[in-house]
Chains A and B, each alone.
Chain A
């Protein structure tokens, strides 16, 4: 069939923002020889038999803007020294091409294949320089082809059918060495004991395994899917308070922990539920944790990481990360409606040197933000909360946390596949993309992964997922009742994990040839384990299939029938064209994994070496505000749609200038209701010297953030996301144990149940030279809490000159892990880590919540990174006011200004209400620390700053 090439570019004299942006990116990336100018041209390759009239009609009506653009057919003459074109590699998702194919079909009734690309004409640089520039800042070769001449192929590569047989793998006779080799070579990443268990199983069956069965087991048993480490039996040596649940204490101080997760994170939740917390509706079992919102509605929350794909292809990695998390919400209970997204990124500092095969941190962050933006915005889900943390140890292994909140009717929070239900898949087609994602994410990254695992990296198509969401919600809310009995998403492991989980109790028979494919040539095993995006699996009773099919057809959402749930022996039976190609017992899949035993140890660090340097408070405050971990994230926030769905009550940015750092976001999940939901996070990586404190401070910070906007601390649920450098060596695992103990103690103390969690335990990068770079132990606490009446919400921006500033909570001398100490390591101070007082912290939260809801507080801000002075300054410049501080003198001036003691709050109160406020707060420690002024000056002792100077330092600290 004929190939047509159509070019569309801004008309001479019209702006070319994309070209400007390319230039800006090159500048930011520090490219030496810059072009004077970049012209961009959209390129459409259309394969199909279309006559010239059709082509010109498509060009004029569909592809080219009548006012601002000019088009041409074929290859137009270069307008500059060098031309570089970028086009997606064969098989890589090209969302706009798919949309154009649909449009051509609707307009001309013709089926064509389309590919879209970009042409860059670079003025004033040679082709090789231009090519390098494109490689460095405009295109990623893992998913894109870079061409130094205009790309005009005679035909597209179409997949070709190849051997569809599913081989037996000789396993029963292998030696241990051979088993380990097979595990690595086949990307199974199972350890020897697990391989031996599989070997024994097949010996007992008296046959060799089929390839597809091994793939299924490797995925089902992957760290990513079953969290083996957190469930292992652990022999721990180190400080361990007495009488922890599920801990056996031995003489000599060591303890045995039977299933770390169950004995810490989950134990806290179940003990709290046994002790009066009755609003947890579903914990740890579903795709997200569910709590009660009001009489009729429930809300759910899930957070995940997508680290390894994001290291190789940040744009696609982040987009599919948020896409997958949204699907988790769509697959919770009988489907929830996603109403908010969150994200937290951890990357190296922009100026840090990167090892071979690593992308530059600035590019990673820019692309990750673009990925979340493009996917979240297209899904129509407001991205409302998040943060960015810089640490050079994330250089080879950046972290991308994505979270999503959903709302659903309370009577639809669970469902099970029934015998005889059809296995219905809705959404995207299956391709070779994303194969081995689950096992890949359970391995360490090396400099060769970019080549080895490029197929695990994907580009998402948000609209495919939006269509599936629209169709599923319509099927859920069908007048005659929900049209399906169970639903889950295709995440890691694809159909294999989705059908495997849904069929665990009843078994399933799957016809793999029934799955719609993106292109020919996929083997049955590839279809089964492909992690292609935007697919949901439903269990639908025979009589409802036709109705769901009609709904999907109206929404342009593709649907297929993959087989039946329920087999006599509760087995998983895989078929291709009616031939059986695999058979596994559900019990071996889900319960066959051998329990492992691990050894862990933790030795407390010495926290008390101190320097003798006196620091300059006047200079320190602006330095702190400009620190990338503290600085404004405005350049990221404003790229996210945080208004869509019209639910926002408190936004990520507040104050008259619209750039004050809100402590948390508040939305109204139920339209028209005055009941709200506050969403926040806590991340205390800086306290890594004691992982227990990472957890306790993270939870304390998350609670403070929610309380500051008006959330009820007695109605907060939290999530745990562990990202660990590794868990194989005793020290790393010991830190994980120590951190889990912090989770248990703090969750119990604050009465904030964990409702869901996820871990990613292999975050290290091995360079070409064999050096291993480990990330710092990282625990993200995400939380959401009920706001009983949104009209009582408050924000952090100072409101009125003359109002008094009150500090709630005691400041200690502990400066360990503080930003001031990071910037001035020789600072003369007490370098012990600040510990959360688990008795006082919850009391402070309750007391502050009481005065906020009773209307005594005009603004509230949590006092954390950077300390008291910085928090007060943020309140002042966010409200365009000054503040005159008069700080207590019990500690040194520097310590009082910059200590980051947890559990502290700053409250603005009208002078006339001060006494009432202090009386209400009798039970907790309060100090009047200053007064807001209209002189636009922050002052304390003999130091003073203009608020514009401070605001500019803060706004300038992070530029993307």
Chain B
């Protein structure tokens, strides 16, 4: 059975819908509170999938995700990097995204090179929305053709169903410099963008989410775990029939399918 670790903390509040997403996609979620996980990082070794849920960890004091990221940098960085090396897909929506970039998991090492032994300095940031306000709405979801992200590949959508909900006050994607952005674009690490006329927070390059070089670790501002059922589509009463599964559910299925492949590969290698 594919086991999905969900890391909770004071102020995390999207853990239940994330658990539901993993369940519907055929995985078996288990939640662990950060206080327990920091005492026992090896719990991460038992996970085939990992989710950093959204919320307001520690009240988003100082900046969104800042305190949780600091606690995790100090105690869990190595175990998380090890998981990625094992081929474990990690999804980090909203607060999870803000945390993942500050831990140093995203954007991760330049393509081809390995993770640094200590957490690197962040090269991208998720800053306060230009409106200086929290905003909740559904936005257009665009996957760049060269994206190497495991979670967002071959999504079957129509223009009508290629949307996803955002809900955040600090989601403005800011790369350290032009070079960082260009590198991410060229290496296919831009996992998803806002529609060009649908950028809700002033993100540079309309960037909505990025992945690491392996495509396993996805951080994104929107909440795929809030679009698992057709009746969650904001205009479902207008649409005669939604041909494909909801966008969010497809993403989680992708990851679960990947872990199955990954496991069989490992078995084969083991056999050789």
Chain A interface (Cβ < 8 Å from any Cβ of B): 14-15, 17-18, 20-21, 42, 61-63, 65-68, 95-96, 98-100, 102-103, 106-107, 373, 377-380, 461-463, 466-467, 470, 554-556, 637-646, 648-651, 654-656, 658, 671-672, 790-791, 793-795, 797, 799, 859, 879
* Nearest opposing residue in chain B for A58, CB measure: B70
Majority-rule SS of B interface residues: mixed
Given A62-B62, A379-B13: A15 touches B127 (CB 8 Å cut-off) = yes
User: In the bound complex, do residue B13 and residue A380 qualify as a contact, i.e. CB atoms below 8 Å apart?
Assistant: yes
- The interface residues of chain B lying within 8 Å CB-to-CB of A654 are 234-235, 237
The distance in angstroms between the C-alpha atoms of A793 and B10, with both chains bound, is: 35
The reply on B258 being an interface residue by CB < 8 A is no
> For the complex, what is the distance from the CA of A879 to the CA of B17, rounded to whole Å?
30
Task: For chain B, residues 53 to 92, give those with C-beta under 8 angstroms from any C-beta of chain A.
Answer: 54-56, 58-63, 66-67, 70-71, 73-74
Does B157 touch A at the CB level, under 8 Å? no
Contacts of A106 in B (CB 8 A): 71
In the complex, what's the smallest C-beta–C-beta distance from A715 to chain B, in angstroms? 20
State whether A554 touches B33 (Cβ < 8 A).
Answer: yes
Q: Given the complex of chains A and B, what is the CA–CA distance between A639 and B200 in angstroms?
A: 12
**Is residue B199 within 8 Å, beta carbon to beta carbon, of the partner chain?**
no
Q: Are A642 and B136 in contact (CB under 8 A)?
A: yes
CB-defined A-B contacts under 8 Å, sample of 24: A17-B132, A20-B132, A21-B132, A42-B62, A65-B125, A67-B124, A96-B62, A99-B58, A103-B61, A107-B71, A377-B56, A378-B13, A379-B13, A463-B11, A638-B137, A641-B136, A646-B225, A646-B232, A648-B232, A654-B234, A654-B237, A658-B137, A658-B234, A795-B237
B62 touches which of A63, A463, A794, A795 (Cβ 8 Å): A63
Contact call A103/B174, Cβ cutoff below 8 A = no
Contact (Cβ within 8 A) A463 B70? no
Distance, CA A791 to CA B66, complexed state (A):
41
**How far, in whole Å, are A638 and B232 apart by their CA atoms in the complex?**
17
**A17 and B128 form a contact (CB under 8 A):** yes
The reply to whether A640 and B136 contact each other, CB–CB distance below 8 Å, is yes
Q: Which of A99, A466, A555, A637 has the most CB of B within 10 A?
A: A99
B237 nearest CB neighbor, chain A only: A795
Q: A100-B61, A463-B11 are in contact. Are A61 and B70 (CB under 8 A)?
A: yes
Residue of B nearest to A799 (CB): B238
Q: Is B14 an interface residue (CB 8 A)?
A: yes
State the CA gap A352–B269 with chains docked (Å). 76
Give the dominant DSSP class at A's interface: mixed
Q: Tell me how many residues of B have a C-beta within 8 Å of chain A.
A: 60
**A440 vs B58: C-alpha distance when bound (angstroms):** 32
- State which of B59, B122, B130, B175 has its C-beta within 8 Å of the C-beta of A96: B59
Tell me if B10 and A103 are in contact (CB < 8 A). Answer: no
With contacts A380-B14, A644-B167 known, is A99 near B136, CB below 8 A? no
User: Closest 8 A-B residue pairs measured CB to CB?
Assistant: A380-B13, A99-B61, A646-B17, A21-B132, A96-B61, A67-B125, A17-B132, A463-B59
Known contacts A62-B67, A96-B59, A103-B58; is-contact A644 B127 (Cβ 8 Å): no
B241 beta carbon closer than 8 Å to chain A: no
A463 touches B63 (CB 8 A): no
Q: Does A555 lie within 8 Å of B59, measured CB to CB?
A: no
Instruction: Report chain B residues within 8 Å CB of A672.
Output: 20
Inter-chain CA distance A799–B138, complex, in Å, is 19
Which residues of B from 220 to 249 have beta carbons under 8 Å from A?
A: 223, 225-226, 228, 231-232, 234-235, 237-238
Cα separation A378 to B238 with both chains bound (whole Å): 32
Q: Is B135 an interface residue (CB 8 A)?
A: yes
Give the shortest distance, in Å, between B235 (CB) and chain A (any CB).
6
B33 contact set on A, CB distance < 8 A: 554-555
Indicate whether A68 sits within 8 Å of B125 (C-beta atoms), given known contacts A467-B10, A554-B35: yes
B2 interfacial by beta-carbon distance below 8 Å? no
A640 to B133, CA, bound (A): 10
User: Given contacts A67-B125, A658-B138, are A103 and B59 in contact (CB under 8 A)?
Assistant: no
- Name the contact of A18 in the complex, choosing from B63, B66, B132, B234 (C-beta under 8 A): B132
Name 8 extra pairs, CB < 8 A, besides A103-B62, A644-B54. A21-B131, A96-B61, A378-B13, A462-B56, A467-B11, A555-B35, A646-B228, A656-B235
B129 on the A face (CB < 8 A) = yes
Tell me which residues across on chain B come within 8 A of A96, comparing CB atoms: 59, 61-62
Near A by CB (< 8 A), chain B positions 157-175 give 165, 167, 172, 174-175
Is A99 a contact of B234 with CB atoms below 8 Å?
Answer: no
Q: Is B47 an interface residue (CB 8 A)?
A: no
